[in-house]
Amino acid sequence: KMAGSSSPWIGSAYLFLQSTCKTIALPALYECSQKKPHVFKALKLALADSTGSLNGVDMLKVHCSHPHLIVQLKFCQQQSCRRFLQSYREGALHKSLQSHLQLSLAMTAVPLEMQLKAGSEHLDEMLKDEDHCLECIYRQKPDRLRDEEITELEESLKSLSVHQSINNNMAVKDCTPLKPPSASPSSQGSSLSPQVTFIFQGQEFVNRSLLPEDHQKFAKLVSKKWKQVGRSLQKSCRALRDPAIDNLALEYDREGLYEQAYQMLLRFIQSEGKKATIARLISALEENGLVSLAEELLGLHSPEDSS
């Protein structure tokens, strides 16, 4: 009924994802250049878990529509789509995606809400009728080819996997004769957990909580651009959402730019807690062209150089 023997079974659906945690905004994480590959990897692996194959379902595009991250899916086999629906209905996809996001983003937990739609049909309301869900997905043919960004992320994920595999093999071969056996697992472990570090200007830095000295340096050096940095941070920080930044500017107008910048970052730190990390601030600085301030916070040059 759904497909003749001569034509392939192709259908499309949209997976809507939303974090139920106020401090985690999935669209903001995906829009962050440093976090995007990690979010994509988690999506890719969870979808592979749901169909039993890396090629069971194809991601055509990931849309950021706050507060949702919307993944456009393409199925090329009815059996793969059926496995996906079973995994979705039984909660296995939900559990798998939470687990992969937690590992990829180095977070304690990423609570999620999920919705599945095919055209105007809300499939969550008819999951028990699997054949009807398949029919709805089959009726929706993909309206686009795979987005270029998805292709690039796929390629970077492949190269990263190969790179890690080579590094791990070399670590086993090269480190054994040079280091005592007790040192080998730790060196391998560090290469397997890149999520606790971040890259800036080709160098790797440990991601850590913001310190009082970071706070003071930022307020002293950011000047008029504190608002722009605040608006970059607000993408993943509810406490800085509009009109919070404008209110801070008015409230501390008399005290001047230092106090305005200081209070903005204070609000970020207080609301995000341990998640108010140096990597998030550096990303916001980079986004606004404040490279010298980022270098200053990471200790790449002396205060005299930045003046």
- The CATH number of residue 276's host domain is 1.10.533.10
What is the structure's pLDDT at 307? 42
- 9-18, 84-93, 197-206, 235-244: which range is least confident on average? 197-206
Q: Are 207 and 279 contained in the same domain? A: yes
Cβ atoms of residues 144 and 60 within 8 Å: yes
Q: What are the pLDDT digits (tens) for 175-234?
A: 333 333 333 333 333 333 345 788 888 888 889 989 888 999 999 999 999 999 999 999
Give CA–CA dist 199/194, Å, rounded: 10
Give me the domain span that covers residue 294: 197-298
Work out the mean pLDDT of the chain and round it to a whole number. Answer: 84
Q: Are 134 and 225 contained in the same domain? A: no
Q: What are the pLDDT digits (tens) for 47-88?
A: 999 998 888 899 999 999 889 999 999 999 999 999 999 999
What is the structure's pLDDT at 160? 60
- Residue 1 inside a domain? The answer is no
Residue in the structure block whose two tokens are 């789509």: 81
Residues 6+ apart with CB under 8 A from 159: none
> Between these two residues, 116 and 148, which has the higher pLDDT value?
116
Residue 50, number of CB atoms within 10 A of its CB:
23
- 129-138, 185-194, 196-205, 270-279: which range is least confident on average? 185-194
